[in-house]
Amino acid sequence: MKVGVLTGGGDCPGLNAVIRSVVRKGVQEYGIEFVGVRDGWLGALQGRMTPLDISTVRGILPRGGTILGSSRTNPFQHEDGFRRVRDTLAAHRVDALVVIGGEDTLGAARELSRQGIAMVGVPKTIDNDVPGTDYTFGFDTAVGIATEAIDRLHTTAESHMRTLVVEVMGRHSGWIALHAGVAGGANVILIPEQPFDIDQVCGWVRNRFRTQYAPIVVAAEGAVPKDGHLILKDRQLDEYGHVRLSGIGEWLAREIETRTGTEARTTVLGHVQRGGTPSAFDRWLATRFGLHAIDAVRDGHYGTMVALRGTRIVRVPLIGTGPKTKVVDPSLYDEFGVFFG
């Protein structure tokens, strides 16, 4: 049997750990042959493959990024996309594909699988917003990086008695903002799921100054003011219809300065959150996902995705039936209201 491995969408720490465990178990226990697909669905459309065996995956466990490359290519936005992917796999005698991706890449995998290509999905993303799994790998590393940044920003904010706004990733969901904000002791946490009232934010900022502490405001890039709109980096759409976000941090600092008459600065963490070595938890989760994904292939259990439920890894249908994004429940967000202000 020959199996292809593909990584798609925004990269995240832990992708290499999945590739390694899929290949190690597949070769050692099931005698499977492997091939890597270059740059996500783009390589599948263009017929670009790369050899993948035990020697290729040696030493990659702690390395961030993906040795296979990635892209935000959507095969269904390209002429004859389905046929081209199918032909590439046939030309390389690939029987099944392990697809490691987020909501978009796995959505395309689901459609390709519905049309007859054998697929098993593995959920990844620093945003932790893939439905069906309690956690995705990459998230823990991103939260660690954001928390360390917040810890550092506390001391400089206090030295100058000014507000520090920290903008973190999270287009549709505020998981990183909430976890890092709580872990870093932020005074205000703003997430896309809960449109915020700028007067209330400024009230919390003033209150923090009154108690002789400097405010730390953590905002997800997709956070929106109640009577405003999403702030975009530019208007260009990617092949899944997403715009590039960023700017809410700068907007907040300006509003806070104007409305409270106090100084504010912004730090945008951006792709630092996605780069570098994965945390121990992400290596553990990614490794387990890989082991279970190749078991699903061996069992011929296609059209499924491996997922974490509690401490168990289970197989669920490839995402697509319910909501596209796993969001923060309002009651979870409300748990931390006591720390605001």
The DSSP code for 201 is: H
Give catalytic status of residue 127 as yes or no. Answer: yes
CB of 176 to ligand F6P, least distance (A): 8
Closer of 207 and 277 to ligand F6P (Cβ): 277
Stretch in the footprint of ligand F6P (CB under 6 A) among 35-43, 48-56, 159-167, 168-176: 168-176
Contact criterion met (CB below 8 Å) for 278 and 291: no
Q: Is 104 in the site for ligand F6P (CB under 6 A)?
A: no
Single-letter amino acid code for the residue at 282: D
> Which one of the spans 48-56, 82-90, 166-174, 308-316 is the region binding ligand F6P (CB under 6 A)?
166-174
18, 32, 42, 126: residue in contact with ligand F6P (rule CB under 6 A): 126
Q: Report the distance separating Cα 191 and Cα 26, nearest Å.
A: 40
CB-nearer residue toward ligand F6P: 187 or 273: 273
Cα distance between residue 35 and residue 50, in whole Å: 6
Among 162, 91, 174, 126, smallest CA distance to 274 is for: 126
Strand partners of residue 280? none
125 binds ligand F6P (CB under 6 A): yes
Site for ligand F6P in 38-77 (CB under 6 A): none
Residue of 20, 110, 162, 171 interacting with ligand F6P (CB under 6 A)? 171
State the Rg of the chain over Cα: 21
Say how far apart CA 137 and CA 147 lie, in whole Å: 17
Residues 256-285 that bind ligand F6P (CB under 6 A): 274
Give φ, ψ of 335 to 5 degrees: -55, -30
Q: Say which of 11, 127, 282, 295 is annotated catalytic.
A: 127
Binding site for ligand F6P (CB under 6 A): 10, 125-127, 169-171, 221, 245, 274
